[in-house]
Amino acid sequence: MSFKLLIGQQDLRSLLLRTLDDGKISHAVLLTGPPGSGKKSWGKALSMAILCPHCDRGEPCMKCFSCRSFLNNNHSSYFELSPDGKNIKIEQIRSIRENFYLQGSKKVCMIDQAEAMTAEASSSLLKILEDPPPDLYFILLARQPRLLFDTILSRCQRYVVRPLKSSQLTNLLLEHKDISTENAVLITRISGGLPGYAFKLAEDKDFERRFKEAKTLSYNLATGCDSAFQLLAWALYLSEKEELTNFLEFLCMFYRDGLVQKLCSGESAAWLKNVDSACLEDAVLLINNVIYEINTTNVNSRLLLEKMLILLQRRLARCQKSSECVLSRPEKPTTLNLV
């Protein structure tokens, strides 16, 4: 993985290449950014550059034995750790620690989701960082760096991997995925510029179906077309979905887009014209709070969704000056083409 193969992130690219070329790379590097931002790709490019003996201005040569071994995933001096279950345990660090002290070439250990290290694992890593062996480098990837020990953070060179520009990500999708331009633009919007998330959506065979279902539900809630029984049916149906968080993000997007349109131009989609901006803002906040609870707690998702849908429909209904229900009342959730 060469820096040349990665797009965007010009500031990050310049910093890393200059630091590598000057020989001032730290024994501990921390790459932070949201999930799907490409931290791992940049971490691997950095690892490959550190290990390459013929690195030119920070770029690995891609031809030597070290580079070929790295590309084939069998480099003897590259180690990678990721959570075993929910955490990175001290046993995982102990299992490879003896390799760090072997004499010879440079060694790199990349720790994915470094904030998932247990206190014992963090303490073990800290002991190594306090007196690192020669030519040993740690690359830590973290979405929530504040969860790391302050003493670990203080020993790291820190870099941020930011979301890509819309045009960059759209072109990347069109280049690497067999999808239409319309879907590439839509996925770029939904993913928020995060290439990992965007590629996951592009590879998801159920993406279009989930998107249409979310569009239908957002319409039904805003127009009050669903009975209480149907809302309970939606909650049960959604609670059994594996990609529930993605679905809720789609749902939130319709109200967020409506809010932005109202604030910027005073207009919005026809089915949201009677919903004021304050109510749309409430809807966005409510859905985001539900996403947060689902991702961070062991809450009963069905009961939480029931509460969310009932509250959403009530709040949106209060904002309606007048509305006409133009959809039928199906016995179970369906997807419809909405105008």
The tokens for 151 are: 């003493």
Which of 1.20.272.10, 3.90.79.10, 3.40.50.12160, 3.40.50.2000 would CATH assign to domain 205-339? 1.20.272.10
Question: How much is the pLDDT for 145?
Answer: 92
For residue 68, is pLDDT > 80?
Answer: yes
pLDDT at site 124: 94
Tokens of 309: 């849908």
Q: Look up the CATH superfamily of 3-160.
A: P-loop containing nucleotide triphosphate hydrolases (3.40.50.300)
156-159: list long-range contacts, CB under 8 Å, 24+ apart: 156/26, 156/28, 156/29, 156/30, 157/19, 157/25, 157/26, 157/28, 157/29, 157/30, 158/29, 158/30, 158/32, 159/12, 159/15, 159/16, 159/29, 159/30, 159/31, 159/32, 159/42
With cut-offs at 50, 70 and 90, classify the pLDDT of residue 324: very low
- Produce one character per residue of 59-93: b if its CB has 16 or more CB atoms within 10 Å, e if not: bbebeeebbebbeeeebebbbbbebeeebbbbebb
Q: Note whether 338 and 271 are within 8 A (CB).
A: yes
pLDDT tens string 125-176: 999 999 888 899 999 999 999 999 999 999 999 999 999 999 999 999 999 8
Question: Residue 320: what pLDDT?
Answer: 61
Per-chain mean pLDDT for the chain: 86
What pLDDT was estimated at residue 254? 87
CB distance 115 to 148 below 8 Å:
yes
Mean per-residue pLDDT, 1-21: 85
| Confidence bin at 293 (pLDDT 50/70/90) | very high
Q: Taking the domains of the chain in order of start, what are their residue ranges?
A: 3-160, 164-203, 205-339
Nearest to 286 by CA among 262, 263, 255, 258: 255
What is the C-alpha separation between 210 and 206, in angstroms, rounded? 6
Q: Is the pLDDT of residue 323 over 70?
A: no
pLDDT digits (tens, 9 = 90+) for 217-252: 988 888 888 888 999 999 999 999 888 988 998 899
Share of the chain above pLDDT 70, in %: 91
What would the mean pLDDT of 73-77 be, rounded to a whole number?
91
- pLDDT of residue 333 exceeding 50, the answer is no
Average pLDDT over residues 279-288: 90
Report pLDDT for 127: 93
